[in-house]
Structure 1
Amino acid sequence: MWKTFLPEYPFDYNFLDQQYDELYKTDQTMGKVFSAFTLLLVIVACMGLFGLAMHTAERRTKEIGIRKVLGATTGNVVVMLSKDVLKLVIIASLIAIPIAAGSTNY
């Protein structure tokens, strides 16, 4: 039937699912790349927070020692050290969440 109507063109067929796979292959690859970079950025951010916490603890070693001698529990010391870092994380979240929510395209 094909040769009767279009003899100069060869019969070439494709399955629809294969065509869709080809269309989205680059999107899937870009998704994997973005996921890898996102993981890397989260790890770097966590290392930065850890470094900030370590610096704060090292800088306040004498204060921690005095508080421990006066009866402070480990939980009290952790809360005291976490306040500064937690404030920065909350400020960063308050800035980043509206920006991230506004940039989503649905």
Structure 2
Amino acid sequence: MFRLINPSLYRCNGRNLLQLAARFSSGPGKVTSGSSCGPSPGPSKKPNPGLEKIKQMQKLFQKDDGKPIHLKGGSRDLMLYRVTWGLALLGLLLQIHMFAIYIIY
């Protein structure tokens, strides 16, 4: 089951270790072909292409301009903020209306 989901979960089981041991030719330290159960290659040396965009966003959100953090994204954030407040107030008014109808009738 795990073999289909995530191959790294079964990568170093006993069978792979026996196959790795059989690949040694004349002694330890010599492997005839690449092993499937060895250390990971490590991090790549290439910089992440999105790193510059992340740094620009960090500068934008860390700037001290008096705005709350949820409004620093621009007009889109302001629109979402106002729509959220509008829906909250609409819900409150509908609850008051429902309770008023319940009390009156």
Structure with bigger helix share is 1
Judge same fold: TM > 0.5, yes or no.
no
TM value normalised by structure 1: 0.31
